[in-house]
Amino acid sequence: EEFDGFCTWVNDNRIPLIVLNKAKFKDKLDRKRFTAFHELAHLLLKVNHLPERQKEKFCHAFATAMLISKDTLQKELGGKRSKLSIQELTAIKQQYGISMQALVYRAKDLGLISDNYLRQFYVTFTQLGYRVNEPVEYEGAEHSNRFSQLLFRALAENFISVSKAASLKNQKLAQFRKENLVF
């Protein structure tokens, strides 16, 4: 259980091989998909001469780009943002099969959020215990959630109040606050 995945070439460097640690990805399809693309990047990109940190950064960027395109993420987030909500990230995760952490990383790479917001996001995620276990898992099936995405985007950007959001979700304010976290 010490590794997520690795890659190598076999048969005189003619056949690429990617190995994923089954024990690490029991119910985490989003992480499994990310790791597979990350390892593919190690095979395809000419990054072996780079320092380890930079090599990993390129492979992460490749994996996130494969999981969600620039145009798609810009459309989903509505352009440059100052805040994101966990519910909005959950909805995008459920639709595209990419973890919330990878989504935020991709948003930062595309200039949709600031470096400072990315750091703040990771601090918050760490405090909530979501770095290893995000609050919701990708189910492997698509479903519509556009209303929720738009609702939580409007709430995160302060276009609507929490009471208005609760009303639009047909929930009492106390119930809405209890079930939803905006950061």
What was the pLDDT predicted at 100? 94
pLDDT in tens, the chain (183 residues): 788 999 999 998 889 999 999 888 877 889 999 999 999 999 999 898 999 999 999 999 999 999 999 999 999 999 999 989 888 999 899 889 999 999 999 999 999 999 999 999 999 999 998 888 888 888 777 666 778 888 888 988 889 999 999 888 888 988 888 887 654
How crowded is residue 167: how many other Cβ atoms within 10 Å of its Cβ?
Answer: 14
162 and 113 Cβ atoms separated by less than 8 Å: no
**Burial zone of 12 (CB within 10 Å; 0-12 exposed, 13-18 middle, 19+ buried):** exposed
Q: Please say which residue of 67, 87, 119 terminates a domain.
A: 67
Number of domains observed in the structure of the chain:
2
* Domain identity same for 83 and 159: yes
* Domain identity same for 91 and 108: yes
What was the pLDDT predicted at 183? 47
130 and 62 Cβ atoms separated by less than 8 Å: no
Token pair of 84, please? 């994101």
Q: Please say which residue of 67, 82, 111 terminates a domain.
A: 67
Token pair of 150, please? 């738009």
Question: What domain range is 92 assigned to?
Answer: 69-183
What was the pLDDT predicted at 5? 93
- Please give the model's pTM, rounded to 2 decimal places: 0.75
* Domain identity same for 63 and 73: no
**Looking at this protein, which amino acid is placed at residue 150?**
L
**Looking at this protein, which amino acid is placed at residue 69?**
S
* Domain identity same for 84 and 129: yes
* Domain identity same for 24 and 109: no
* Domain identity same for 182 and 93: yes
Task: Collapse the DSSP code of 7 into the 3-class scheme (helix H, G, I; strand E, B; otherwise coil) and give the result.
Answer: strand
* Domain identity same for 89 and 59: no
* Domain identity same for 140 and 89: yes
Residue 30 to residue 33: CA distance in whole angstroms:
5
